Structure 1
Amino acid sequence: MKAIVYSHKGSPDVLQLVDRDPVDPGPGEVRVRIVVSGVNPTDWKSRSNTDPDSEVTPNQDGAGVVDAVGEGVTHLGVGDRVWLYLSAYQRASGTAQEFATVDAAHVVPLPDGTSFDIGASLGVPAITAHRALTVLEDGPDRLSPGALAGKIVLVAGGAGAVGHAAIQLARWAGATVVSTISSDEKATLARNAGAHHVVNYRTEDAADVISRIAPDGVDIVVEVSIVKNADLDAQVVGQRAVVAMYADDGGSTAELAVRPNMGKNTRYQFVLLYTIGEEALRRGVEDVTAALVARALPVGEDAGLPLVRFSLADTAKAHQAVEDSVVGKVLIDVSR
């Protein structure tokens, strides 16, 4: 089979296309024929920053068809269409290969009618968005229609993959959704994703506009850059709101204004999928699946998330595109 591998950290140039034998699944594992692999910022950051102990195939997310099932796996069968998440976490078998042998616990059936493109776009973005939307002190820990009714959600960077999923999930759960963006192009994408209100922070006084939309304050902020947006968030949140931060801006340090946040009892919640725990992952997977059944998580430019496609041989270019912050979801066509 064809696979992308790397053996030491570095630029996308360390990624090599090689031939490898498929690995038979052991107990609790399945082998999936990967149709589409999804690329996330965590994939290039891992490749750039961490020297592996052995050869690694990158990419956490993907979608495909179950090819073989290991002992003890009962919720999946050969031929099942599936999506995968955290495939390469604490193991070397990511989705940038024709056949991936992975932990069956991180392989989920795709509902009927759900495309492989959607499946490969879930994983890190959708479960991260779910976690961010379910850490409000006075809010639900599960999402479903009406779960966020009466709540106002501010999604920073609504044109990104996590922001896109957050808009869709919040809208599906009944929230009023506001998104900040930086251009007319991204405003269109955020609206296409379902945002009720879009605010261009480069051309508008974002704090003033958001405060007029939400005079009692925003309940949940899904935050892509606390380093840049800490002052804005402190101005627009309401009482006992939460700012859920899922990106690190390269390890920068954020400064928080004490008095405005203390007066509102604002909660600041860091979000990293690798350490949220199996229970939170399970809730996220179940609720994302329910949203898929409801057709609430479409992708593509008309749905607010353009698809940027590469071949498996061009995985290095796909990683570079994500590192360069290309607008849209980067997908790798592995086998069609």
Structure 2
Amino acid sequence: MKAAIYRRTGPAAEVLAVEDVDVPDPGPGEVRVRITGSGVNPTDWKTRAGLTGRDPETFQIPHQDGVGVVDAVGEGVDAVAAGERVWLQLAAFGNRYGTAAEYSVLPAERAMPLPADAPDDLGACLGVPAVTAAHCLLVRGDGREALRDATVLVAGGAGAVGHYAIELAKHAGARVVTTVSSEEKGELARAAGADLVVNYREDGAVDRVREFAGRVDRVVEVALGANLELDLAVAGAGTVIAVYANEPDDPVIPTRRFMVANATISYVLLYGVPAPELAAASAWVSDAARAGALTPLPVTRYALDDIVAAHEAVENGAVGKVVVVP
């Protein structure tokens, strides 16, 4: 099969290549998926660049997310069947066969059924962004029912996680306010269903959020350091700020102000989420997809042979979703 691989970490143009490798067979508890679209996330280029780990022992096929059709199942697998369309998550986590290839082999629990009427673009966009958004909204452990009539602030509503945080929160019955940096991004956030979109670069942004929200129940936060003042302005007893992205410099946390507000910061890194919580977030994403509540991000497609350009696009902050098509 054709696959994008790297044997050492570094710049995309120096380490990524498309090669022919043997089609892997699924082992016990695994499935093999014929990939029809491979979603690229920031975590993919950061891992390839060496920012989050070490060089692979032999080779690594990148990309955690994707969409495709189950081609074969290993011993003991009964959750999905051959011929079933699936969306994938964490395919390359502890596994050399990520989705940037014609086939991927991965644990069966990381392959989730995709509704028959859902386009491939949606399946390729889910995975890390949607499951992260779901976990950020569920992180207090109250369940999705607790979001009904709650107020949610989504920082960066035009990003991949922000997009699905808006759609999932609205699907659960919450009111949603989101911040963006431009009118173009504001249109994306409105299309996702946000009740109020605020350009945080404009004067009076904090006042507009406070006027709408008063106190928020949940913050889905992409940049804690930059947004601390806004988050604290709308935080109160029971507010949970779920932080899913890091920053070049660790922010200084004003502990006393958080104590006075009785607010909580919860850090979210999908790779370390306990299995039951990960399963709950994944199940919610699947339920929402079946209900037609989730939509694809704007997709830019690259051929597998253009894997370097695809990685460089994501590394340079491409809006929407970059999808590699084998």
Q: Pick from 46, 50, 56 the counterpart of residue 60 of structure 2.
A: 56
Percent identity over the alignment?
Answer: 49
Contact 1:32 1:65 in 2 (8 A): yes
Contact 1:148 1:170 in 2 (8 A): yes
Q: Which secondary structure does the structure 2 equivalent of 1:180 belong to?
A: strand
Displacement, 1:147?
4.2
Equivalenced residue count is 322
Q: Which secondary structure does the structure 1 equivalent of 2:202 belong to?
A: coil
Counterparts of 2:114 and 2:149, CA distance in 1: 31
Displacement, 1:223?
0.3
Counterparts of 2:27 and 2:208, CA distance in 1: 55
Deviations 1:7-27 (A, max 9, x none): 001011111000111011111
Deviations 1:65-107 (A, max 9, x none): 0111111111222111111100000111100000111111211
Are 1:133 and 2:137 counterparts? yes
Contact 2:151 2:216 in 1 (8 A): yes
Q: Pick from 280, 291, 300 the counterpart of residue 283 of structure 1.
A: 280
Displacement, 1:205?
2.1
Are 1:107 and 2:106 counterparts? no
* Pairing of 1:85-124 with structure 2 (within 5 A): 85-124=89-128
Question: Which position in structure 2 is the counterpart of 1:6?
Answer: 6
Question: Which position in structure 2 is the counterpart of 1:243?
Answer: 241
* Pairing of 1:1-336 with structure 2 (within 5 A): 1-13=1-13, 14-49=15-50, 50-136=54-140, 140-141=142-143, 143=144, 147-215=146-214, 217-250=215-248, 252-299=249-296, 305-334=297-326
Counterparts of 1:235 and 1:287, CA distance in 2: 30
Counterparts of 2:216 and 2:203, CA distance in 1: 18
Counterparts of 1:225 and 1:60, CA distance in 2: 23
Give unmatched runs, 5+ long, in structure 1.
300-304
Of 219-228 and 229-238, more deviation after overlay is shown by 229-238
Q: Which secondary structure does the structure 2 equivalent of 1:218 belong to?
A: coil
Contact 2:138 2:281 in 1 (8 A): no
Q: Which amino acid aligns with 1:113?
A: D
- 4+ long deviations beyond 4 Å: none
Contact 1:147 1:174 in 2 (8 A): no
Contact 1:37 1:95 in 2 (8 A): yes
Displacement, 1:150?
1.9
Deviations 1:119-171 (A, max 9, x none): 111110011001100123xx723x3xx54122110000000000000000001
Deviations 1:185-228 (A, max 9, x none): 0111100011000010111322211110012x111110000121
Counterparts of 1:332 and 1:238, CA distance in 2: 43
The TM-score, its normalising length taken from structure 1, stands at: 0.93
Q: Which amino acid aligns with 1:261?
A: F
Q: Which amino acid aligns with 2:199?
A: N
Q: Which secondary structure does the structure 1 equivalent of 2:189 belong to?
A: helix
Q: Which secondary structure does the structure 1 equivalent of 2:10 belong to?
A: coil
Q: Which amino acid aligns with 1:306?
A: P
Question: Which position in structure 2 is the counterpart of 1:302?
Answer: none
Q: Which amino acid aligns with 1:36?
A: G
Q: Which secondary structure does the structure 1 equivalent of 2:23 belong to?
A: coil
Counterparts of 2:251 and 2:29, CA distance in 1: 41
Q: Which secondary structure does the structure 2 equivalent of 1:203 belong to?
A: coil
